[in-house]
Amino acid sequence: MSTLRIGKLRTTIVDLPTSRPHRFANHEIHHQSYLLVEVHTDAGVVGIGEGVSPGGPWWSGESIEGQQQLIEIYLAPVLEGMDCLALPLIRSAMDRVTHGNEFAKAAVEMAVLDATGRALKVPVHRLLGGAARLRLPVRWALSGSGEQEVADEAIERLGQGHPALKLKLGALPPAEDLKRAARLITKIGADYDYLVDPNGSWDYRTAVTSVKELEAMGVSVVEQPVDRRDLAGMAALVERSTTLRIMADESICRPIDAMSAVTARACDSVSVKIGKAGGLRAAVEVATIAAHGGVRCYGGTAIETSIGTAAAAHVFASVPELEMGCELIGPLLLQDDLTVTSVRYENGHLVVPEGPGLGVDVDRDKVDRYRRRR
């Protein structure tokens, strides 16, 4: 390979239906939208990346439509002709023309890494430093709505080998939410590992009482109990907890956020995600900072297709530690996928793809079927 330079960037918005409604703290989704980013290189190799906005722009402030406009109008012109191997320079070029917009930048970097891995005939995890693990335990994430159907789904997924469960909270008033959680744990079984996530919907006083009750129920982790900006509140909850872990999600996006949270002792675990970190390399940085600060890492999800799931799998294969496992359930929650073959799950574990690049190939017919007509 003499050169591998970025040529054209092409984008496509697709909308995929979910196999069942998925309820967050403040809304419910029946489909998920994605932005496919293709990087065409001068060597004829094409890399694919995926932009996602989990349930819409409420989480990150970035919409799929906004990501598309940003990439096409602002990022593509400054990236054309750049060396795919010069990843720090590519990131600097994107940062010069737009502040933030981490999910959009992550999609571009993902495509560049896929093209590079394909050209070099190595999996992306090799480009990130190598794999410490090639099988990832997958915690099953349940919807925040319904009760009996949620319990039935949990029992089914546990039977398929998923080692742990995640309950979404925040859709109901706190007292009702806690009663619902207690009933679900009773129906499913108290011997399993439970993580609950209210998506930062509680104020500090509510969080104090709720965390205490959840600890008594046997819940092992509470993810982002208070507003993302309330590091002091997060740190106080860490101090109050005995057996239960306080996990940061919205509070820790980029590496600089990880440094601030570790310094403030604002969490004892962190959900790492490619999109919010600003790319695969930045996600590895977040995990590395956390590990050095004694904070455990968890592989979070934004309900990606097999494209984004494969990218996240390469990241989580490469991070220093992943004792808490991951939550990469996207392809299992969608009615269809965008790749010729979906990523592979075995007995509740995700197998890290070993093919060149991301290790998955786009199904052009499916992209055309689900693409949004402008």
Residues carrying an active site annotation: 168, 327
* 308/166 Cα distance (integer angstroms): 20
CB 276 within 8 A of CB 298: no
Ranges of beta strands (E only) in the chain are: 6-23, 28-41, 46-52, 135-137, 140-141, 164-168, 193-197, 221-223, 245-248, 269-272, 296-299, 344-346, 349-351
Q: Nearest CA to 90 among 280, 258, 359, 276?
A: 280
* Pairing mode, strands 46-52 and 135-137: unpaired
Q: Is 3 exposed, middle or buried (0-12, 13-18, 19+ CB in 10 A)?
A: exposed
CB 245 within 8 A of CB 234: no
Q: Which residues pair with 35 in a beta bridge?
A: 13, 51
* 58/233 Cα distance (integer angstroms): 22
Residue 11, helix vs strand vs coil: strand
Tokens of 22: 């998925």
Dihedral of the alpha carbons of 179, 323, 241, 250, in degrees to the nearest 10:
-70
Tokens of 240: 């109050």
CB 167 within 8 A of CB 141: no
Site of tokens 């006083």: 205
